[in-house]
Structure 1
Amino acid sequence: MIRLHITAEGQTEKAFVDQVLTPHLAHFDVYTDARCVLTSKDKRAAKEYRGGLISYQKAKADIETWMKEDANQECWFTSMFDLYALPEDFPGFDEAKRLEPYQRIERLEAAFGNEMNKPNFIPYIQLHEFESLILADPAKLDWEYLEHDQPIGNLVKMVGSQNPELINDGRETAPSKRILKEIPEYDKVTSGVSVAAHIGLDALRASCKHFDEWVSRLENLGGKE
């Protein structure tokens, strides 16, 4: 039995892991749990605040703390961070920003893995953010947003035959910004995860190459064919 701890950028990614990835990976004898990355602590109140990738150093320290808390041999760790708005102190950031998206993500993940320097850590950065998964099949937004035929149709037309992982990271043109432009009431934590689940892992993986590679690596941890 393999246990997999996933450090998620925020509540959306955590909910996606809990609701979609966890039941899927259980079929491969990989049992997951997820928590949002630590952002701050209130020592007086003994409280932790989690969610939001503020800095690389904070994320690294949080993952390293979890590794110390669970150092068992059968335990693995991974991340689910967005490329969009990635902190500039991330290893390899300056060099990677000059590269094409898939090369950029490869360079960043390699630098991340080298910095962590743990054989049981699998670095993963989502191209370009969680909403890339929604744009794998934006027509499924009607699962949550009834009577939005025209806005959803606009998104379907915009995506067309594009690779959703390559829909860019501009402040006004990132996947989430495109969805919000058409559906201002879009809520990523509840509706976004629900729509992604409705699209289904098979369709998400077919449209999102880098995401598929990550899921395959996680499946293979269990040693099943």
Structure 2
Amino acid sequence: MEFNVAVYSRCVLTSRDKRTREYRGGLLSYDRAKRDIQSWIREAPGRDCYFTTMFDLYALPNDFPSYAEAMRLTDPYERTRIIETAISEDVNDHRFIPYVQLHEFEALIFADPQQLDWEYLEHAEPIERLKAIVAETINPELINDGPTTAPSKRILAEIPEYDKVTAGVHVAAKIGLDTIRQKCSHFNEWVTELEKL
């Protein structure tokens, strides 16, 4: 605990059934995300509690604040900044720091796709092809967000059994925060802002 902080994470509440069972993940609308974020903030009113998000820009619901304005821009970094600023203003709590991942979580895996071999040992050739994609783009955060070319779609095209929920997290841990921060500038800006708290 280099920064002497405790971290707790959870997925956004997306629905409840009649028996009060909660379902999280699979973000469907900004309104649901906002309600869950505000509930989360109310649960921990302390001045030393801070809150953040990690929403993928790819397939982000179009009802997010300033979404239409952001999508008219060509610079993906500016798109995320506009949406993050709009979410911050809408939630309106100084302890809340929104973050939108360019273009999705799997961009972080492209910081070092070789580490996929920890989960997928017999996929040397597909992993080499994924490494070639990074060599072409240099910055993994800029791998585009088309329906067949988004980072997760590219991984799935090479490794169909790729599991976003479990393998993605394990591979990112193997890559390590230092490498991800070095290769992914927007992610690094977010982590740096959190460290300053």
Query: Under TM normalisation by the shorter chain, which class is it?
Result: over 0.9
For the residue of structure 1 that corresponds to 2:8, the secondary structure is strand
Shift of 1:67: 1.3
**Counterpart among 118, 121, 140 of residue 146 in structure 1:** 121
Q: Which residue of 1 aligns with 2:38?
A: 64
User: For 2:147 and 2:78, how far apart are their aligned partners in 1?
Assistant: 21
TM-score (norm 1): 0.84
RMSD: 1.0
Q: Which has the higher contact order (CA 8 A, sep 6+)?
A: 1
Q: Does 1:29 align with 2:4?
A: yes
Q: Which residue of 2 aligns with 1:204?
A: 180
- C-alpha offsets along residues 5-36 of structure 1, whole Å, 9 cap, x if unaligned? xxxxxxxxxxxxxxxxxxxxx31122110111
User: For 2:79 and 2:185, how far apart are their aligned partners in 1?
Assistant: 14
Q: Does 1:105 align with 2:80?
A: yes
Q: Does 1:79 align with 2:53?
A: yes
Code of the aligned partner of 1:174: A
Of stretches 87-96 and 145-154 in structure 1, the one that deviates more from structure 2 is: 145-154
Length, aligned pairs only: 195
User: For 1:144 and 1:48, how far apart are their aligned partners in 2?
Assistant: 30
Q: Following superposition of structure 1 onto structure 2, how do residues 1-225 of structure 1 map, counting pairs within 5 Å? A: 26-42=1-17, 44-99=18-73, 100-161=75-136, 162-221=138-197
Q: Which residue of 2 aligns with 1:14?
A: none
Larger fraction in strand: 1
For the residue of structure 2 that corresponds to 1:188, the secondary structure is coil
Deviating runs (4+, > 3 A) in structure 1? none
Code of the aligned partner of 2:162: Y
Code of the aligned partner of 2:82: R
**Percent of aligned positions with the same letter in both sequences?**
61
